[in-house]
Structure 1
């Protein structure tokens, strides 16, 4: 497997460039002087292409292309002249086509609508990379694939894995998607002798880049709490959640591409916080009526997950804590600075996309 020179200016393909993670990764790569080809479903969607092309450096070094993971030729087109593939286009499939939530699906439907499409999309991307002689791949995955049972005192990405069969049997199809993605990605990267880095991301919280980011699963909940006073939870969950700022996630990704020795799984979270702590920060920005009630007296709370961050810190040390994540999102939402990007001349954006 050829190793790229990390000192050279690279040309990476970000699959899913209009997503929260993908847009931040592309923006960080452009800031390094790299070239980026970004895929999205429709390059004629100016609500996405215009703000993307407004990022610093995008006019000269960002190419946008339409791509569909069900059509391998579109992926091959996106990979032309690139030397790395970042897979950030596989968000969790949370429902069946008829709207049935993933948690309510039976075994066969969960496989058909959640697991199998994720596997197929990941396979298409990695096989296209191999055919294009792109040997560096970064997969943005999730901590859902590092949830062994029982939970260890300290989780280690090289020691602990979720059991896919158990997740499927228990109907945890959203979590199982991430475990299935990793399984097929590792299998194909070994078969094709590719360098695969897997980032185990937590819940991504922070400022968006595109207006549509406020409509994303997690950020939509945060927006609705503030704008519509619409509760997310009726009662504060007794558990915890692992979080990462999108700028830190992008830094992990670019650090992996810059380090030719980086390979395998890396935790990509700041840490895990109790939901009570998360809501304490949210309370600074939303009306009281939108907040959940406290955990019922006598309810047993679980300790936030603990992690061994030695490998993570060998890539990059995260800069943003919980307060910065929550405040960063709400400041972005309040400032509406992202709407200014829609004033960029659409004709300028059109000259840099491939229909």
Structure 2
């Protein structure tokens, strides 16, 4: 299969590229700037061993013609383009990602499109159920806008656009979104992933000196990439799929971080504080993709190993 990876220089996109290459697919990866000084690591690490099965091309999600060029001749696409920033500008960015990439896929005859989204699109305004699922539970993008959750607005609208365009394509396009929260683990790019910077700051005592009474959902970037590739390869896959292992209370996360880093002493919840229930996920659909997802000790062990290798802790 020939696959266009839109945003192959991002954290998720680089590991999607590596996973596709490892499974024998031809990959055309897109970046906004393909200059060798900015993309050498992609060729050397993400596409290692691919040879002429990997091609790098410049494309911009705001320029549909460039996305058409990136997808031309491909059987499928995995779209990992996005921004880690939480600001109003992320909303038109994600609209372009969803709209232009779906339209380009339809124009070029690409049969399947898998998008990186977020669990931020799965938070029903009436409150969190015991177990969220990808089919029934949707965020209210207008309410998210009012509360300044701009990245979540972008992802909620992305999900709706992808699913609507696939549904209206009369079978021409199979649309999938993979919905993670915090993604961490190893990192190929010269600059460390945002999550790694956060963990380094926690270990150094620069942030989270008290325990938030909340939970966080995690996944190793390699497992997330595997979910994207499985969704592309399985012709029966469509719609939304959670991209999380599970959610843990922050006390559990910090305690595990302390086990991985003996020199770090995690804080404790204030006396008398009752820990909130961690977000529950119905992972039935995710399990149907057949990917084994690592647990908290493995996730944080990989993140800590990367931090140590970079001299960040």
The TM-score with structure 2 as length reference comes to 0.90
Q: Does the residue aligned with 1:21 lie in a helix, a strand or coil?
A: helix
CA distance in 1 between counterparts of 2:212 and 2:174 reads 39
Match of 1:276 among 231, 246, 251: 251
1:267-315, Cα deviation, whole Å (9 max, x unpaired) = 12111111111111222327548x5x43323334311111111111110
Instruction: Specify the alignment match of 1:100 in structure 2.
Output: none
Instruction: Specify the alignment match of 1:128 in structure 2.
Output: 104
Instruction: Specify the alignment match of 1:147 in structure 2.
Output: 123
Structure 2 matches for 1:250-265, cutoff 5 A?
A: 250-265=225-240
CA distance in 2 between counterparts of 1:86 and 1:28 reads 12
CA distance in 1 between counterparts of 2:208 and 2:175 reads 37
Question: In the superposition, relative to structure 1, how do residues 267 and 50 fare at CA in structure 2: closer, same or farther (>3 Å)?
Answer: closer
Instruction: Specify the alignment match of 2:180 in structure 1.
Output: 201
Question: In the superposition, relative to structure 1, how do residues 174 and 286 fare at CA in structure 2: closer, same or farther (>3 Å)?
Answer: farther
| CA-based RMSD | 2.1
Contact 2:7 2:80 in 1 (8 A): yes
Match of 2:85 among 76, 79, 93: 93
Structure 2 matches for 1:318-337, cutoff 5 A?
A: 318-336=292-310
In the alignment of these two chains, the number of paired residues is 306
In the TM superposition, what is the alpha-carbon distance from 1:185 to its structure 2 partner? Answer: 1.7
1:48-87, Cα deviation, whole Å (9 max, x unpaired) = 3334334433323111111111212221121122111111
* 1:19 is the counterpart of 2:6: no
CA distance in 1 between counterparts of 2:66 and 2:225 reads 25
* 1:181 is the counterpart of 2:172: no
Q: Does the residue aligned with 2:229 lie in a helix, a strand or coil?
A: helix
Q: Does the residue aligned with 1:48 lie in a helix, a strand or coil?
A: helix
Match of 2:114 among 138, 146, 151: 138
* 1:303 is the counterpart of 2:277: yes
Contact 1:53 1:59 in 2 (8 A): no
Question: In the superposition, relative to structure 1, how do residues 336 and 294 fare at CA in structure 2: closer, same or farther (>3 Å)?
Answer: closer
Instruction: Specify the alignment match of 1:32 in structure 2.
Output: 23
Contact 2:82 2:93 in 1 (8 A): no
Question: In the superposition, relative to structure 1, how do residues 305 and 328 fare at CA in structure 2: closer, same or farther (>3 Å)?
Answer: same
Worse overlay, 266-275 or 294-303: 294-303
Q: Larger relative contact order (C-alpha < 8 A, sep ≥ 6)?
A: 1
Gaps of at least 5 residues in structure 2 are: none
Contact 2:62 2:93 in 1 (8 A): no
Contact 1:245 1:320 in 2 (8 A): yes
Worse overlay, 132-141 or 165-174: 165-174
Question: In the superposition, relative to structure 1, how do residues 51 and 133 fare at CA in structure 2: closer, same or farther (>3 Å)?
Answer: closer
Gaps of at least 5 residues in structure 1 are: 1-9, 96-109, 338-355
Q: Does the residue aligned with 1:85 lie in a helix, a strand or coil?
A: strand
